[in-house]
Amino acid sequence: MQKKDKLKLLFIMPLPLSYDHVMRWDDLPDGKYRMNLHLVTPGLPNGPLAIAAYVQKYLPNTEIKIFDTSSYLLRLNSAIFERPLKYEEFVRKSLESLKEFNPDIIGFSCMFNGCYSGLSEYSAAAAEIFPDALITAGGHLAAALPERIFANNAAISAICFAEGEIPFLNLCRAAMEGNIESFLAESKSWLTQKKLAEGFKPGYEFIEDLDEIPPINADLLVFKEDYFIPNDLIFRSEAVQGKEIMMFPTRGCPNRCIFCASQNVHGHRVRHNSAERIKADILFYNQKYGVTHFVFFDDSFLYNRRGAIEALRFIGDHGWTATVPTPAFFAIDDEVAEAFAYAGIKVVEVNIENGNQDTLTNIIHKPSNLNRAEETIKHLHNHGILAAGTVLLGFPGETIRSMMKGLSRLKTMDIDVYIVWVVTPLPGSELWDMCIEKGYTSGELMSRYEDAAISTPDFSKELIQYLYYSYPKLLNFENNRYFRAGRWKEAYEFFQNPLCHSSFLVYYYLAKCAKNMGNDSLFRKHWEEYLMARKEETEGFPIYQKWAAKELPPL
Ligand code: B12
Ligand code: SF4
């Protein structure tokens, strides 16, 4: 690249799930096809936005666009096509929409396993459409598996390890000086195929004081209007009114949970914004974008306890609301729960992960215990907040016996609703390294996080898949405090809460309550809903079909 006075940067968020996974085509009577998407939800690209804010602080002339493939795809939804649009065609179409911008540097933000399968077509098309651009990648997945990304994406010249603000700013400076090659060869963060082949190990270039990163500039988003809409993927008990934004005032976490991939990027030392800065950002996002709902998704939001409480009270004082979806539960005491309630929080995830303390301590390395989780639940309930317990199934080292012991313990906890996941080995986590080394997983980067991927000498992935379907039935419905006491009307009312509506199971249990209440018309309504939802949700999943046929007998 020649020396330049100013640069144009393009960040691209590839689809977080594979194209085939999200795409359905409706056959129309006239022989045409209508695009019918599901599971496509744009998520605020915080990484690229933070990098962009930092680069523009030092290089204000830089022009930046952030393009989210999910948003582009959503704009084609319901459109009619002569024949189904192939993935390669979609990729070209989306990049051609950016042709006039003609970037100098392209940065793919590869966060999720699901980004992997579609990246090669994207990077190849980018190289063809923008032949002079330097093509790079970064984000959690890219930082964890650079060898695979390079092997599959000939057009990608460099991959950034970990946080990208300092490395990207330095790359831009090198590009302006016209000495990219020597910069990449020497950089601590940037990986190239050559450096990897020589055994190079990257290091971190963290910003110590997060206040140095300016607030995000949403005007850089090509589809800005999509991001202030409350995000469907966040677990909540009721719809959020008004505009929402995700904020990350902390980075890093001192703990080392075996399944977590975050700290490969953010490290184990917690860095955070000052309380003053968090409040200033809240005001800024309200004044500039009309945001009234603030989501703190950072891993260690409560680490800076006073700052977090101050921010939540500040939000409450203004009559605005917050969500803190996944706080470290062991940091929640009465004062924190009170601040949550004051900021309008109605439900909080309590990341129990497992009901067996041995598994928690010796396998997962969770730095807390079930008794502490129970205290947290009490604090939340005292302030009228529902507790949603997350459970992960299928850790290597678990046995059927240890899982059943855990299940029994979970049934005794006063959790309102459980969210059950199978454990997915995420590149960058200790679990991924263990599973690859011991052959517990195929190493395929799956797009469906609902599919069990780990088999060990103690259990098969098919068994875990079966349990994954059974746990919500056993924990959320059979064990519901009203249902198990035969209080059908209260159970019926509880199951109406959106928190219970994660699958067709809810209609089965609504029907069951209605039947026990002697309300035949309600029973028939929910039974119909159940049959329809079950057919749709289990289609193509034989274990799920078998499970439903066996575990949900006709009522
Ligand atoms: C917010 C969040 C979400 C949001 C939305 C995220 C989005 N924008 O789409 C929601 C709730 C929707 C979500 C969902 C999921 N998430 Co999530 N999520 C996060 C979380 C907590 C924060 C991400 C973030 O915005 N951080 C703040 C910014 C500033 O940091 P950053 O994104 O890491 O960006 C920095 C670097 O990565 C790098 N960088 C990023 N892009 C680029 C690009 C270039 C070119 C360069 C140079 C650098 C670079 O520089 C950035 C600035 O320093 C992370 C964990 C974490 N703490 O990072 C998990 C995380 C990304 N999620 C994860 C997972 C697994 C999921 C789910 C699959 C969970 C599930 N089972 O359903 C879903 C799937 C999402 C989907 N769309 O299908 C994993 C991903 C690992 C993986 N290999 O797949 C993570 C790492 C958490 C974990 N479990 O370890 N998630
Ligand atoms: S799962 Fe949570 S507590 Fe555990 S290491 Fe990750 S961020 Fe920290």
pLDDT tens-digit map of 23-46:
999 999 999 999 999 888 888 999
**Per-residue pLDDT band at 304 (split at 50, 70, 90):** very high
Q: Is 260 in the pocket of ligand 2 (CB under 6 A)?
A: yes
Q: Which atom of ligand 1 is nearest to the CA of 11?
A: 45
Q: What is the C-alpha to C-alpha distance for residues 116 and 149, in angstroms, rounded to an integer? A: 8
Q: How large is the average pLDDT for residues 502-524?
A: 97
Q: What is the C-alpha to C-alpha distance for residues 470 and 396, in angstroms, rounded to an integer? A: 20
φ/ψ region of 431 (left if φ > 0, alpha if ψ in -120 to 50, else beta) reads alpha
Tell me, in angstroms, the distance from the centre of ligand 1 to residue 323's CA: 17
Proximal ligand: closest to the CA of 303: 2
Q: Is 299 in the pocket of ligand 1 (CB under 6 A)?
A: yes
Tell me, in angstroms, the distance from the centre of ligand 2 to residue 350's CA: 12
Q: Which atom of ligand 1 is nearest to the CA of 159?
A: 47
Q: Which atom of ligand 1 is nearest to the CA of 325?
A: 11
Q: What is the C-alpha to C-alpha distance for residues 88 and 43, in angstroms, rounded to an integer? A: 23
Range scoring the smallest mean pLDDT among 111-115, 375-379, 430-434: 111-115
The string of pLDDT tens digits covering residues 207-228 is 999 999 999 999 999 999 999 9
Q: Could you give the C-alpha distances from 384 to 234, 344, 380, in angstroms and in order?
A: 20, 10, 6
Structure tokens at 327: 């706080």
Tell me, in angstroms, the distance from the centre of ligand 2 to residue 404's CA: 25
Q: Is 45 in the pocket of ligand 1 (CB under 6 A)?
A: yes
Q: How large is the average pLDDT for residues 498-525?
A: 96
Closest CA to 324 of 284, 374, 278: 278
Q: Is 262 in the pocket of ligand 2 (CB under 6 A)?
A: yes
Q: Which atom of ligand 2 is nearest to the CA of 255?
A: 5
What confidence score (pLDDT) does residue 43 get?
A: 87
What confidence score (pLDDT) does residue 299 get?
A: 80
- Residues in Cβ contact with 106 at an 8 Å cutoff, skipping those fewer than 6 apart: 9, 10, 11, 12, 126, 130, 133, 134, 135, 136
One-letter amino acid for residue 339 of the chain: A
Q: Hey, which of 140, 213, 326, 393 would you mutate to test ligand 1's pocket, going by the most ligand atoms within 8 Å of its Cβ?
A: 140
Q: Is 300 in the pocket of ligand 1 (CB under 6 A)?
A: no
What confidence score (pLDDT) does residue 44 get?
A: 93
Q: How many CB atoms lie within 10 A of CB 287?
A: 9
The string of pLDDT tens digits covering residues 452-472 is 999 999 999 999 999 999 999
Proximal ligand: closest to the CA of 136: 1
Q: Whose Cα sits closest to atom 6 in ligand 2?
A: 260
131 pLDDT higher than 90: yes
What confidence score (pLDDT) does residue 240 get?
A: 85
Proximal ligand: closest to the CA of 351: 2
Burial class (CB in 10 A: 0-12, 13-18, 19+), 491: buried
Tell me, in angstroms, the distance from the centre of ligand 2 to residue 290's CA: 32
What confidence score (pLDDT) does residue 124 get?
A: 95
Closest CA to 456 of 533, 371, 394: 394
Q: Hey, which of 140, 248, 253 would you mutate to test ligand 2's pocket, going by the most ligand atoms within 8 Å of its Cβ?
A: 253
Task: Give the SS3 label for residue 389.
Answer: strand
What confidence score (pLDDT) does residue 235 get?
A: 78
Q: How large is the average pLDDT for residues 528-552?
A: 95
- Residues in Cβ contact with 97 at an 8 Å cutoff, skipping those fewer than 6 apart: 72
- Residues in Cβ contact with 135 at an 8 Å cutoff, skipping those fewer than 6 apart: 106, 108, 123, 126, 127, 155, 156, 157
DSSP structure class, residue 85: P
**Per-residue pLDDT band at 375 (split at 50, 70, 90):** very high
Q: Is 328 in the pocket of ligand 2 (CB under 6 A)?
A: yes
Tell me, in angstroms, the distance from the centre of ligand 2 to residue 376's CA: 17
Range scoring the smallest mean pLDDT among 369-373, 477-481, 540-544: 540-544
Tell me, in angstroms, the distance from the centre of ligand 2 to residue 24's CA: 35
**Per-residue pLDDT band at 194 (split at 50, 70, 90):** very high
Tell me, in angstroms, the distance from the centre of ligand 2 to residue 109's CA: 22
The string of pLDDT tens digits covering residues 43-65 is 899 999 999 999 999 999 999 99
The string of pLDDT tens digits covering residues 263-296 is 999 999 999 999 999 999 999 999 999 999 999 9
What confidence score (pLDDT) does residue 404 get?
A: 97
Proximal ligand: closest to the CA of 328: 2
CATH number for region 240-484: 3.20.20.70
Q: Which atom of ligand 2 is nearest to the CA of 259?
A: 1
Tell me, in angstroms, the distance from the centre of ligand 2 to residue 102's CA: 40
Closest CA to 274 of 213, 345, 316, 341: 213
Q: Whose Cα sits closest to atom 4 in ligand 2?
A: 257
Closest CA to 59 of 6, 106, 102, 107: 6
DSSP-assigned states of every residue in 325-347: -S--GGG--HHHHHHHHHTT--E
pTM of the model: 0.96
The string of pLDDT tens digits covering residues 230-260 is 887 777 777 888 999 999 999 999 999 999 9
Proximal ligand: closest to the CA of 392: 1
The string of pLDDT tens digits covering residues 406-457 is 999 999 999 999 999 999 999 999 999 999 999 999 999 977 889 999 999 9
Tell me, in angstroms, the distance from the centre of ligand 1 to residue 140's CA: 7
Q: Hey, which of 112, 228, 270 would you mutate to test ligand 1's pocket, going by the most ligand atoms within 8 Å of its Cβ?
A: 112
CATH fold of the domain at 8-197: Rossmann fold (3.40.50)
Tell me, in angstroms, the distance from the centre of ligand 2 to residue 327's CA: 9
Q: How large is the average pLDDT for residues 517-528?
A: 98
Tell me, in angstroms, the distance from the centre of ligand 1 to residue 156's CA: 21
- Residues in Cβ contact with 330 at an 8 Å cutoff, skipping those fewer than 6 apart: 367, 368, 372, 373, 376
534 pLDDT higher than 80: yes
Q: Is 255 in the pocket of ligand 2 (CB under 6 A)?
A: yes
**Per-residue pLDDT band at 367 (split at 50, 70, 90):** confident
**Per-residue pLDDT band at 123 (split at 50, 70, 90):** very high
Proximal ligand: closest to the CA of 42: 1
Q: Could you give the C-alpha distances from 343 to 215, 242, 324, in angstroms and in order?
A: 22, 15, 10
Q: Whose Cα sits closest to atom 40 in ligand 1?
A: 139
Q: How large is the average pLDDT for residues 157-181?
A: 97
99 pLDDT higher than 90: yes
- Domain borders along the chain are 8-197, 240-484, 485-555
